[in-house]
Amino acid sequence: MDFQGKKVLVVGAGLSGQAAVGKLLRSGAEVFLTDKEPKDKLQNIEKLALDDSHLRLGKEPEIELIKPDLLVLSPGVSPQLPFIQEAMSKGIPVWSEVELALRDLPALKIGVTGSNGKTTTTTLIGELAKATGRPTIVAGNIGIALSGLVDELKEDGIVVAELSSFQLELIDRMQVNIAVVLNLTPDHLDRHGTMEAYVQAKARILENQTFEDLAVLNWDDPLIRDFKLKTKARVRYFSVREQLTDGICLRGKDIVVRHASQATKIIGYQELLLRGSHNLENVMAAVAAGLEMGLTVEDIAKVLREFRPVKHRQEIVGKFNDILFINDSKATNPDSAIKALQSYEEPIVLIAGGKNKGLDMTEFLLEAKKRVKSLVLVGEAAAELERVARSLNMQRVLRAGSFEDAVAKAIGEAEPGDVVLLSPACTSWDMFKSYEIRGELFKELVRNHYSEP
């Protein structure tokens, strides 16, 4: 799209919004920026090349006065806001920031979505992409805005993008050459309203693919298995549970790629530093992407052996007094926290709570009842979680008055041989601006307690 002289209203002044402003200004657009927060509460706004006449901060913008040709929304902005609905009713296009970043990009585009495991899989595919020797950018919902990074990528480049349902629901012509869909469990129902709407948003990653593209789909998830009907692309399935005749699966303790009657070993799963069956799914999906990028089996296996868990996703904080501390702050929904619980055989002291996204916590707490010796609850959802836990007759449930208190209580409950696991099953937004800040504080508190750096 030619932005020269076009008026574009960017909604949301965080990382994504600021990156979008920069890209649009470089493209010759007249850019307006709006955010519900006033200027003094926003970071780095003064670094943008926008005068006050192009800022609409602390209030809703007037669509009639600006007369924008396009709206670009940051992921955290709901399209249900009245001024956005007004723009839509007038036929003004409304894009997500990833549409702006990737729409006309000539590089190979790899998109990763799903309810859980996106960051690990995106990061792992990024390492595989770097192993090809081609210029590579890893960004998106992983915490790095795409629009600020992709301008220099040419046809020989690769972009690996983690894509959330928020980012996908407003794409237009954006096309990914390799689409990876990991799993689908209830999430963000406070935004999407229904599971059906959430699934539809995720499926949009496939809709602009062509016959030359690839869709990597989870055979074990019936919803995703049927996504084959939603894409023109070639499909490669992966499965932890079944022996596929064509796809990535297990043969004994080995991850193999099968085609017809041939099975080629990629790696033994005991060689992986990633723990848990959910990480086998992540690895298999990454293997499919690596093969599509032209890597050899040996190249892929080398990257897999060296890959460590990403920050805030079952990240090892340390082992102190023979107690293993795990930071899984990125587990912001029940299914993700269940997968973390299932990764450890040791007795678990679990820290959970935060802000619930309108999700049912019963299954999560049933799993916790089987695996957790002490449950420490904190944050806005603590009362709800305690009520459900006690209805399930969980024996050891503690409430904390603050996050610092929760960590102190968890340390007090732990004994040598235990795992202290921060896997909240809730967002951080009641106490922190992000799950990253929550995870960093957990690590700091643990290390300070044991006087370790």
Dump pLDDT digits (tens) for 272-322. 888 777 789 999 999 999 999 999 999 999 999 999 877 888 888 888 999
Residues 6+ apart with CB under 8 A from 38: 57, 58
For CATH 3.90.190.20, list the domain ranges present in the chain.
315-449
Using CA atoms, how far residue 199 sits from 115, 239, 337, in Å, is 10, 20, 20
DSSP class of residue 310 equals: P
Mean of the pLDDT values across residues 12-21? 92
Q: Thinking of the domain 315-449, which architecture would CATH place it in?
A: Alpha-Beta Complex (3.90)
Backbone angles phi, psi at 308, to 5 degrees: -110, 155
pLDDT tens sequence across 200-217: 889 999 999 999 999 999
Mean of the pLDDT values across residues 403-426? 96
CATH number for the domain formed by residue range(s) 7-92: 3.40.50.720
Long-range contacts of 361-370 (CB under 8 A, 24+ apart): 361/334, 361/385, 361/388, 361/425, 362/388, 362/392, 363/334, 363/338, 364/334, 364/335, 364/337, 364/338, 364/425, 365/389, 365/392, 365/394, 366/392, 367/338, 367/341, 367/342, 368/341, 368/394, 369/393, 369/394
Q: What is the pLDDT of residue 192?
A: 55
Q: What is the pLDDT of residue 78?
A: 87
Give yes or no for residue 188 having a pLDDT over 60.
no
Give yes or no for residue 187 having a pLDDT over 80.
no
Quote the tokens at residue 195.
């599971």
Cβ–Cβ under 8 Å, residues 431 and 403: yes
For CATH 3.40.1190.10, list the domain ranges present in the chain.
101-306
| Of 343, 363, 114, nearest in space to 238 by CA | 114
Residue 49's pLDDT band (cuts 50, 70, 90): confident
Least confident residue range of 94-103, 225-234, 303-312: 303-312
Q: Thinking of the domain 101-306, which architecture would CATH place it in?
A: 3-Layer(aba) Sandwich (3.40)
| Of 70, 104, 99, nearest in space to 172 by CA | 99
Give yes or no for residue 69 having a pLDDT over 80.
yes
For CATH 3.40.50.720, list the domain ranges present in the chain.
7-92
Mean pLDDT of the chain: 92
Distance, CA of 372 to CA of 343 (rounded, Å): 12
